[in-house]
Amino acid sequence: MSSLDQVVKWAMELVAMEKPDWCVLDTETTGVEKDDEIIEICIIDSRGQTLLNTRIRPFKRVSEGAFRVHGISTESLREGENRARSFMEVWPQIFMVLRQFRRVITYNAEFDNRMLRQSAAKSDILLFMSKRAIQIAESACMDDDVDESAGGGQGGQGYAARKRRHALPLQWECLIEAYAEYHGGPGSRWQKLEVACEHMGVELPESEKHSALGDARATLGLLRKLAELGKAEQALEALVVEQKLEAVSDGRG
C-alpha cells in the first residue's frame, strides 16, 4: 500500500469514527525556543465544536518574530482589566478537556506537545504525556484523575517531587507529517498549514488566520479533505470494478 493510501486511510478512519476518541489542538506561542511558552491555545472536537479557546499570560515576552506571525503582543496579554490568565489558572480547563480523549491531532505534534510541556514546567507542573512515561512515573504515586504532590521521603521533598503531577496518556498524531507524505512521499518537506489548505481547497476567513482557533479549524478542514479524497477514490475503484464485471458479463453473453 502506498504512502498516499496510508495517509488517506488514516484520515478516513478518524473522520468516520462513530465515537471519536480524538480532538484537534493548536497553539500560538512566545517563540519556538526551549524556554518559550503558550500564549493562546484552542481545542476543538471532531465536529469542529470549540471545547477551549483562550489566551495565556506568559512569563517570557513575545518575540518579534512570533508577533509578526500571530500579532499577539506581550502588553495585550499582561496589561488591562482583560489581561490573560496565567497557565496555572488555565491548566485545570486544559486538563479536563484533554483527559476526555485518547488522541490529539495537531499540525505539528512535536512542537505543540513540547510547548505544552514547557509552559507547564514554568508553572511547576510535570506532564507525563504518553502511556510509557506514565508507567515509568508510577513510582511517584500519581493518579491519572487526581492532581496530587508526590512524596519526597524523609527530610523534605526534592524540587521535582514537589511539582504537581498530571497524567495525560495521550497519543499525539501529526498532520504536518501525514500531509508531507501525501503531498510528496515519505521524507518530503513539510508544507505550511496555509499552503496545504490552499492546495486542498480548505477555506478560512482572513480574520481567523494565524490564531489558535483558526489554525485548529484549518487542521480539521484539511483532515476532512483527505478523508473526502479517500471516499472519492473508493467510489472510483468500485465503479471500475463494476464496469469490468459488466464487460466480462457482456462477453460471456
Provide the CB-side half-sphere exposure for 51 (13 A, CA).
21
Tell me the sheet residues that pair with 38.
29
Residue pair 111/105 in contact (Cβ under 8 Å)? The answer is no
* Averaged pLDDT for residues 137-145: 53
| Residue 199 domain flag | yes
86 pLDDT higher than 90: yes
Confidence of residue 111 (pLDDT cuts 50, 70, 90): very high
| Residue 137 domain flag | no
| Residue 245 domain flag | no
The dihedral sign for the CA sequence 108, 26, 95, 91: positive
Mean pLDDT for the chain overall: 84
| Residue 138 domain flag | no
- Convert the pLDDT of each residue in 34-63 to its tens digit: 999 999 999 999 999 999 999 999 999 999
Q: How, if at all, do strands 125-128 and 164-167 pair? A: parallel
142 pLDDT higher than 50: no
| Residue 156 domain flag | no
| Residue 94 domain flag | yes
| Higher-pLDDT residue of 11, 234 | 11
- Between CA 244 and CA 233 the distance in angstroms is 17
pLDDT given at position 51: 98
| Higher-pLDDT residue of 212, 250 | 212
| Residue 39 domain flag | yes
What total number of domains does the chain contain? 1
- Between CA 196 and CA 202 the distance in angstroms is 8
- Between CA 190 and CA 184 the distance in angstroms is 9
Residue pair 39/55 in contact (Cβ under 8 Å)? The answer is yes
- Convert the pLDDT of each residue in 161-206 to its tens digit: 456 778 888 999 999 999 999 988 776 889 999 999 999 999 887 7
Query: Cell 518575540, residue?
Result: 63
Q: Report the CATH number at residue 212.
A: 3.30.420.10
| Residue 215 domain flag | yes
Q: Residue 92: which residues within 8 A CB-CB, separation 6 or more?
A: none
Q: Which domain holds residue 199?
A: 3-129+168-228
